[in-house]
Amino acid sequence: MNVLIGKKQIMLAALVVMLGLAVFVNWYYTNSSTELFPEGAANADNSSDGSDSSARFASAEEEDEYFADMKLKRTASQSAAIEELNAVLASSDSAAEDVRRVSDEIAALTAAAKAEGDIESLVCAQLGGNCVAVIGDNSVDVIVSPSTLSGSSVLVISDIINSVVGNSYENVRISAALS
């Protein structure tokens, strides 16, 4: 009886060692090729001389200017799209089906603009720093300050996106702005 228990324990120990080795090999090869953070964002606060700042802005004013420029470009493109759609609505030769389709597109653009504003407000309120959200056809892109991006902030931003737009978008990308 003791011999049978000894063989089972040896077999169990060998399986545990093999499993541990497999986990280590998997971690080693996947850890070296993928990164969660853009280059320089993980050690943005740990840099002692500030010279290694490929993902950092030179000044806070440049960062503010970048995000303001992004928001202005987004707003201008949305306004241009809505003006074009309103021009189609204003034309007298539009069919009822075209009017309904254009009205739906205007409503979708307006809802996307509201959702972008909501995401930006919530991210800035919870994490601080600047943020720009852009909602496309099937994607949500959120660009934040490099100093804001960390593992926990990615989870917070993902939670905010899901609470604002739900699961209606397949591609969600969260990235740090590069100078």
- pTM confidence score: 0.59
Structure tokens at 155: 């989870």
Q: Which of 118, 87, 119, 117 is nearest to 105 (CA)?
A: 87
Q: Which of 29, 41, 34 is nearest to 151 (CA)?
A: 41
- Looking at the predicted structure, is the pLDDT value of residue 57 above 70? no
Q: Where are the domains of the chain?
A: 1-34, 60-176
Q: How far apart are CA 41 and CA 100, in angstroms?
A: 46
Please report which confidence band the pLDDT of residue 52 belongs to, taking 50, 70 and 90 as the band edges. very low
* Predicted pLDDT of residue 23: 83
Q: What is the pLDDT of residues 61-106, one digit of tens each?
A: 777 787 888 888 888 887 888 787 777 777 756 677 777 888 888 8
Q: Give me the CATH topology for the region 60-176.
A: Helix Hairpins (1.10.287)
Structure tokens at 96: 């009822």
Average confidence score pLDDT of the chain: 75
Give the full edge-to-edge strand order of the sheet including 171-176.
131-135, 139-144, 171-176
